[in-house]
Amino acid sequence: MAKRLIASTKTDILKFSAADLKESILASEGRVIMGQHHVMLNSGLVDGVTNAEIQAAYGADMVMLNGFDMIKEESNIGLREMKHGKLADKPYSLKQIKEWAGVPLGIYFECPSPDAQVAGEQYVEAKEGRIASRENFLRALEIGADFIVLGGNPSAGTTFERIIEATKLAKETLGDKILICAGKWEDGTIEKVLGDPLSERPSNEIIKDLIDSGADVITLPAPGSRHGITVEHVRQCVEFVHS
């Protein structure tokens, strides 16, 4: 059995399979902290150091890379070194950052609904390199991602059906080679976030569909981070997931 993630060394983590990572999270009994690094926004808080490394230094046990473009790597500004006031042409590789940070790294993929509209306005078009697709899943495996997260950034027009479809595709494409996380904690205008009592579909039905589709981890909004989402609502969802 894998060691607890919160007690694992970098040497342990670099050897983890997807199954080991899942076991190590479970064995940590709810004390694993995941940080988020939005790689398209800036080159990092400290020159020569990625934000993923900084998060790991301050206690993050895993880091999810949001905004990561699988096709246009130059868009991943937060992974490019700053030299003499200029960004390097190519970003650091995931394997290099994982070697430095010593924590599992994952990629957030959007599951957009291109026809979605709110108040007559078209939603933001998702970038090809950032959407959930067979090609991008295979690229994630190739570059050494430890896990993927399926959801949708604000204004992507994300629906639960899209996320469920993406989860099935990820499982068919990747099998047990990468940990699959799926759910919905933002972009709640087309459909409510997971755990919202006003959702048209009961949360437990959606969670079961995601698990049956191959999700290893269910992602939920933090209590109070979206209107109407309380500790009790999230507790009930977590209890059902664990059952």
- The pLDDT tens digits of the residues spanning 7-63 come to 999 999 999 999 999 999 999 999 999 999 999 876 778 877 889 999 999 999 999
34 contact partners, CB below 8 Å, separation of at least 6: 60, 61, 62, 63, 64
97 contact partners, CB below 8 Å, separation of at least 6: 50, 52, 53, 79, 105
- The pLDDT tens digits of the residues spanning 139-149 come to 999 999 999 99
Per-domain residue ranges of the chain: 1-31, 32-242
Percent of the chain with pLDDT strictly greater than 90: 71
* pLDDT score, position 126: 77
Average pLDDT for the chain: 91
The fold adopted by the segment(s) 32-242 is TIM Barrel (3.20.20)
CA distance 33 to 29: 11
Global pTM value? 0.93
Angle between helix axes 160-174 and 203-213 (nearest 10 degrees) is 20
